[in-house]
Each structure stands twice: as structure tokens, then as C-alpha cells.
Amino acid sequence: MLRSTEHGPITRIHLARTFFGRALYTVRAYLVDSLLIDTGCPATARELVAWCRGREIRQVVNTHHHEDHAGGDGLLQRVLGLPVAAPSEAVPILAHSPRLQLYRRIVWGQPGDVAVEPLGDVVETDRYRLQVIPTPGHCPDHVCFFEPRQGWLFSGDLFIHERVRYLRADEDARTALESLRQVLALRPWLLICSHAGLVGDACGAIERKIAYWEGLAEEARALREKGLSLREVTDRLLGPEGLMSRITRGHFAKINLIRSLLGAAGADGA
Ligand SMILES: [Zn+2]
């Protein structure tokens, strides 16, 4: 499924694999002034190429290597001859795509290997100049794109939601908090998120997410000091694990967030 909506100079592209007509999990890519930011998942790559054909697109960039953000890179490169650039740490991962967990292959598809160029410090288009801001945490190679004159922050998967309660097992929430504080200092006006879409109160939204996670970390620490296990702390603060945790065999689960927020203090007792 591909659907696009115009928001002034920014085009939002909704991408999802569908199952009996229902979108499994929608991700957004963005087009701004001939620059395509992210390319959706492998399962929607053909639709994206068809959509891009006939539009004036001159370059493609990725916020990070995940398959729902870089999954169209190879086909855009091969079919339309577009130059693709990704964060330097993502380049070797994209060149040798690891085999994904089953749920990720079902929802997004398994990406093939693709050779892309490393991003520099800025990405320029005719009208805009986007700074590349390293923002690890969601994954080590994650970057945001910040356009200071417009106040735009293309935030990839750094934000997602003010009250994120599930985390992948390989995410680092404390590093993500550092990254959130770093982009907050840029005072963006518009957050352009791969999942939440366009968020007008950018600083307020980032502040609320930081406060929510910091509050959770504090409560979790206090409960651990009282002797509760990691599982008990998670159940107490976020409720029992839901369907997502079972489907993903714990790869995407609430306990991952609490463990990550606690750092070394959460290392045992699960
Ligand atoms: Zn991601």
C-alpha cells in the first residue's frame, strides 16, 4: 500500500504491506524538494519506484539501516539510477543485510544487499540545507536531518511516540534519551517522524517523551531497590506483555524498555 499526502513543501508517503486489504504496519517516507528521505520496506519497494517515476527526485537518503527505512534503496538505485546515501555505520550493514527475524520478514520483507554511499555532514537540495545529526539509541547508526531555517527535524525512529512502552531487544533507551536531549537543544519547530507523522509542537513532544522515560527509569530503580525482579517491575509500571511480545518472541517487548532504562542496575532478576 502506498498513499501520499501533501503538507506544504513536504510530501508524506505512507507505506505498508497489506494482508487481506489491511495494512500490517505503516511507515512514512518523505519527499522534500527532490530529496527522498527513507524508502520504506522491501515489500513496498516496487510501489515506491512506480510512485517516484515521473517525479523530480534527485537523491535518496536513509535515517538508519532498518528494513522499513532502507528497504527500497536497491530498487530505486537499479531501476531509476538514483544516488542513495546512508549513515556511514549503516553502509556495511546494508551491503550485507543480516537475515531478519520471522516477524520482520512477514511484516516488511527481507532486504537484499545494496551498496550505498556514506552521508556527509549536510545534505543540500536547491532550496534547503539539511544538517546530518547523529542520534544513536534506536540503533547505533541512526541520524536525524535538521533544516535550521525551516526548523524541520526529520527524526526517523528517534521519537515514534511520546509514550513508547515497547522496545526492541537491541535498542539502547539511555543513549536514545541523550539523542533526544541533543535534538531538543536545536529547538525544532516541526518534528517529521516516520511513525507519528508531522508533529507541530516539536519541542513539547520531545520534552514529554524525555520526561516519560526519565520518570519510568526513576520508578523502576526504586522498585528494583525494593527487591522486585525486572519482570515484576515491568508488570507494575507498564502492565503485562501484550501480543507484540509473543509474536516477536520477546524481541519487541516492554521488559526491554525497563531493562534498557535501568542499564547495569536492571541486568539480573528477570
Ligand atoms: Zn528503525
The confidence score (pLDDT) of residue 265 equals: 67
| Dist. CA 68 → ligand 1 center (Å) | 7
Q: Do 97 and 19 belong to one domain? A: yes
Q: Which residue range(s) make up the domain with 44?
A: 1-121
| Dist. CA 173 → ligand 1 center (Å) | 13
Where the chain has pLDDT below 70, the residues are 265-270
| Dist. CA 179 → ligand 1 center (Å) | 15
The confidence score (pLDDT) of residue 244 equals: 86
| Dist. CA 64 → ligand 1 center (Å) | 7
The confidence score (pLDDT) of residue 268 equals: 59
- In degrees, rounded to 5, the angle at the alpha carbon of residue 173 between the alpha carbons of residues 88 and 257 is 130
Number of domains in the chain: 2
Sign of CA dihedral 163, 260, 245, 224: negative
Q: Do 117 and 199 belong to one domain? A: no
Tell the residue number behind the cell numbers 534506536, with chain if given: 138
What letter would DSSP give residue 100?
P
Sequence-ordered list of residues with C-beta below 8 angstroms from that of 154, at least 6 positions apart, any chain: 30, 37, 63, 130, 144, 145, 146, 192
| Dist. CA 7 → ligand 1 center (Å) | 23
Q: Do 61 and 115 belong to one domain? A: yes
Residues with CB under 5 A from ligand 1 (ion): 66, 157
| Dist. CA 225 → ligand 1 center (Å) | 32
What letter would DSSP give residue 162?
T
- 163 burial (CB, 10 Å; 0-12 / 13-18 / 19+) is exposed
CA 180 distance to own-chain centroid: 13
- Identify any residues that bridge with 28 across adjacent strands, giving them in sequence order: 14
The confidence score (pLDDT) of residue 266 equals: 64
Sequence-ordered list of residues with C-beta below 8 angstroms from that of 175, at least 6 positions apart, any chain: 136, 137
- Residues 198 and 61: their CA atoms lie apart, in Å, by 19
The confidence score (pLDDT) of residue 270 equals: 46
End position of a domain, from candidates 121, 137, 158: 121
Q: How far is CA 141 from CA 91, 94, 150, in A?
A: 9, 11, 25
Q: Do 107 and 192 belong to one domain? A: no
- Identify any residues that bridge with 84 across adjacent strands, giving them in sequence order: 60
Q: Do 229 and 153 belong to one domain? A: yes
Q: What is the pTM of this model?
A: 0.95
| Dist. CA 247 → ligand 1 center (Å) | 18
| Dist. CA 142 → ligand 1 center (Å) | 8
| Dist. CA 138 → ligand 1 center (Å) | 6
| Dist. CA 67 → ligand 1 center (Å) | 8
- Residues 167 and 259: their CA atoms lie apart, in Å, by 10
